[in-house]
Amino acid sequence: MKIIDRLKEHKIHISFEVFPPKTDEGFEKVASAVDTMAQLEPAFISVTYGAGGGTSKNTAKIASHIKNDLGVLSLAHLTCASSTKEEVRKVIHNLKEQGIENILALRGDIPSDMPFPDKGRFRYAYELVEEIRKHGDFCIGAACYPEGHVENEHKEDDIRYLKQKVDSGVDFLTTQMFFDNDIHYNFLYRIREAGITVPVLPGIMPITSASQMKRSQELSGTIFPRRFLAILDRFGSSPGAMRQAGIAYATDQIIDLLANGVKNIHIYTMNKPDVAAAIMGNLSEIIKA
């Protein structure tokens, strides 16, 4: 089943995200986390590609396990900046062989020790989308940035590039993490005005430690609202309290989104089934309403 078909259903869908093991020895640990998450009945589980694409083999392996062994829709991430065009084509072929129907197409981070771009690599995510379209009937997702991409100085350019990417064959979008829902609502208004009509899944990241917040900010440049900073200041030095507060904050974001008509939400659970379970427990009756 394709994710776009599920997103069009008139019901609430909550999806999760995990990352693959860096080594083959770590597969069982990740598989165990995924097995536990699957019991929470997510709409789908996405599997990241890993820094530099180094875990691409395990991305396909975990995505296949989710789909074929657990009976849950899976979404395999695919990045192109760190791989040659031929390597990308081999990954697409492998995903097809594994029966994976859903791919999240991303440019990915540019390795610091590599000249970019060069003729042998895709330069932009829209080029990767076009390539995936050539190789099968995949459902293709892509990323979007409510606060603007860090490489684009003007938000107008950001939306123009996003429309180009969507028009290349994207079925749905998932946002980068954000911590102020008004940013998401304003973003939706602007992209709809620009003619981008595909479903958009808000990406919610439960921040459960001070170190995780710092890492998230380094990666995304996201803005933390005063309310969240107060939580960090008060509870950041207490691991148990910060975990509980972070889960509560993410839950509150999701409830607000649902109350305002958003039906498809993606949670950056990473490999923490306990965090996923806590949030789903908080939403147990809400998602039925």
Active site residues: 17
Quote the CA–CA distance of 176 and 143 in Å, as a whole number: 7
Q: Which of 194, 206, 289, 219 is nearest to 252 (CA)?
A: 206
Token digits of residue 186 = 């304003």
CB atoms under 10 Å from CB of 24, counted, come to 10
Q: In this structure, which amino acid lies at residue 31? A: A
User: Which DSSP state fits 200?
Assistant: E
Quote the CA–CA distance of 37 and 119 in Å, as a whole number: 41
Residues 186 and 227 sit within 8 Å (Cβ to Cβ): no
Length of the chain: 289
Residues 82 and 46 sit within 8 Å (Cβ to Cβ): no
Quote the CA–CA distance of 253 and 257 in Å, as a whole number: 6
Identify each DSSP E strand in the chain by its residue range.
13-18, 45-47, 74-79, 102-106, 139-144, 172-177, 200-204, 264-267
Quote the CA–CA distance of 194 and 212 in Å, as a whole number: 34
Angle between the N-to-C axes of helices 239-259 and 273-282, in degrees from 0 to 180, rounded to the nearest 10: 50
Quote the CA–CA distance of 257 and 200 in Å, as a whole number: 12
